[in-house]
Every structure is written in C-alpha cells, then in structure tokens.
Amino acid sequence: MGILVNHSTRAIVQGITGREGSFHTKLMLDYGTKIVAGTSPGKGGSYVHGVPVYNTIYEAVREQGPIDASIIFVPARFASDAVYEAIDHGIRVVVVITEGIPLHEEVKFVNYAKIRGVDVVGPNTPGVMTVNECKLGIMPAHVFKRGYVGLVSRSGTLTYEIARELSKRGYGVSTVIGLGGDPVTGLDFIDVYERFLRDNETKAVVLIGEIGGDAEERFATYYTKLTYKKPVVAYIAGRTAPPGKRMGHAGAIISMGMGDYKSKRSSLENADIPVAETPSQVPILLESVLGK
C-alpha cells in the first residue's frame, strides 16, 4: 500500500544523463525503484546504470510499454516541455524535481495535469517515496522506516529531520511526499490527505507546512468539515520569518497579508490539529493523538 507509487510502479527518468539525474537514478535503483527507461534528447541508445536511454518518451513507451510515473531532472527552461511530454504519453504521476521554473509555466502545466487526472508532485520537490517500495525523489532513504504515518511536506531537509525524530520514537512512514517549494504546486495538503484517507496502511498523517500562501489554512477548513478522518499532527516552519522576504523557497514569502505563522497555527489548532513547537515534539504529539 502507501499512495501514488508502490513496488509495481514502472518509472522513467527525464534528464537521466545529467549530473543530478544520473546520480539519483543510481540511488533510486539501489532502493529498488523499477526504473525502466530514461530520456535524454540526442543520447538515445546509451545506458545509465543499466537503464536504457531514449531520445523521447514516445520511443521509450514504444520499446518498454506503458510507463506509470516519471521523475524530471531537466533544467528549468526545459522542464515544462518535459511535463507535457510525460502527460501526453500517458504517464499518470509526474515528479518535478526541477527548481526555478517560471510561475506562469507552472500554472499552465499544473492545470493541464489536473484536467487530465494526472498527479504532479512538485515542482521544486524532494519527490515521493513509499518506504521500502518505490522512491521517486532525492531524499536520503535511510532516515525513513516503514510504518503507518503518512508524511506530507512543503519542505526537504526539514522532512528528513522530522522523519528521523519519528524513527527515534519507533514511528515509521507509509509514504512521504514533498509538495514542492513553489507558490503553485500540482498537489496540495488536501489532495494528498484524501489519498492517505483511502490508504488502509496509513493511520495518521504528519503535515509539515511553512509560511506563505494559505495551503495550511485551507487544509484546516477542509479537515474541520470531514466526518471520517485520520488524526493529523503538524509542524509549521517560519515563525521568526519577517514579512515580505523570500525565505529560500519562492513559496515561502508572507505577502498580501496571507500566510503568516500565527494564522496557520491558529487555523490548525482550531481544527483540533496539534502543532509542534520543534521537530522533536512531533512524535510526542503523535503519541497523544493516537492515544498511546
């Protein structure tokens, strides 16, 4: 089980011959991910860590059959095109690692994907991983133990930090998903939580938010209205961030009066979602909501 990807997911790496693409292909293969092909225009016919490289997905699908998921490492200027290529060739999960894609291009392809029922993870994401089954991302695999906590986050290293805290206390993770650090992403907390609700294995969800936007507030409103729910514990980064400044992520900017820490925290707490003060408090709060 787990969500979005699993042991039977057949994946392709777009931009497999690049430095990042090649490096992480190795790590994903080591993890057991079924990478059946890679693309790199003009480099078709070669191999990267034993994975056949094609010039196009058109060719990859023709040779290897249908492909379920893609992970994109191509540079920002070519990333939108890679997303369209993936969607137009029947790929249902598209993980966009690439950082720095123009906002209006993201808006376009994210809508395009949504209409077609395709899940876009990212852009600017560490990826998605169903622990011990399939890793489509760049996260350090060893900090994640398998278990029943669903992890959904707008952050990278902070997620690993919290996963490590969970492990220390004996909690494992079903699937971990980085939504992506940009203002507009393919999936949001609500989309992912709905999947976790339907996943038999996942018993609780840890939500890792940060300042900027109103994704956490919207989740709180949504969560309040649910009749069937699984417990959620949250951590929000950025309490000390000043308004109007971009804190690393393009998405982590408090502007237009939206998205400050106070608003997020009170929304979540009003929805009966406990918010941890430090990463190390997350498993403690989890214990409390799970009634151990």
Partner 1 sequence: MKLYEYESKEIASRYGILVPRGRVVVSPSEAYSVARELGVVVLKAQVLVGGRGLAGGVRIAESPEEAYNIAEKLLSTSIRGERVEKLLVEEKVCISRELYLSLIVDRAARRPVYLISEMGGVEIEELAKKYPEKIHRVYVDPGIGYTDYIARVSLQVLKLPWTLLQDIANTTRAMYKIMVDYDAELVEFNPLALTCDNRLIALDAKIIIDDNSLYKHPELQRLYGRDLSEYEKRARELGFSYVELDGDIGVISNGAGLTMATMDSILYYGGKPANFLDIGGGAHRESVREAVKLMLTHPRSRVLLINIFGGITRCDEVAIGIIEAIREIGLIKPIIVRMLGTNEEEGRRILREQGIEVYSEMDDAVKVAVELSKR
* Residues in region 64-93 near partner 1 by CB under 8 A: 76-78, 80-82, 84-85, 88
Instruction: Verify binding: residue 256, partner 1, rule CB under 8 A.
Output: yes
Burial of 228 (0-12, 13-18, 19+ CB in 10 A): exposed
Instruction: Verify binding: residue 291, partner 1, rule CB under 8 A.
Output: no
Which of 93, 205, 233, 250 binds partner 1 (CB under 8 A)? It is 250
CB of 43 to partner 1, least distance (A): 9
Which of 213, 216, 234, 286 binds partner 1 (CB under 8 A)? It is 213
Rounded to 5 degrees, what angle do the CA atoms 29, 34, 36 make?
A: 100
Judge whether 183 and 251 are in contact, CB under 8 Å: yes
Binding window for partner 1 (CB under 8 A); candidates: 64-72, 144-152, 231-239, 265-273: 231-239
Judge whether 231 and 282 are in contact, CB under 8 Å: no
Q: Which is nearer to partner 1, 109 or 223 (CB)?
A: 109
The rounded distance, in Å, linking the Cα atoms of 176 and 127 is 8
Judge whether 51 and 16 are in contact, CB under 8 Å: yes
Q: Show contacts with partner 1 in window 10-29 (CB under 8 A).
A: none
CB of 1 to partner 1, least distance (A): 25
C-alpha torsion angle, residues 215, 117, 1, 191 (rounded to 10) = 10
Q: Show contacts with partner 1 in window 138-197 (CB under 8 A).
A: 138-140, 143, 153-161, 164, 181-184, 188
Q: Which is nearer to partner 1, 99 or 201 (CB)?
A: 99
Strand partners for 151: 176, 206
From residue 86 to residue 125, the character string flagging contacts with partner 1 as x (rule: CB under 8 A) and all else as - is --x-----------xxxxx--xxxxxx-x-----------
Phi and psi angles of residue 88, each rounded to the nearest 5 degrees, phi first? -70, -10
The rounded distance, in Å, linking the Cα atoms of 68 and 87 is 10
Q: Show contacts with partner 1 in window 30-49 (CB under 8 A).
A: 41-42
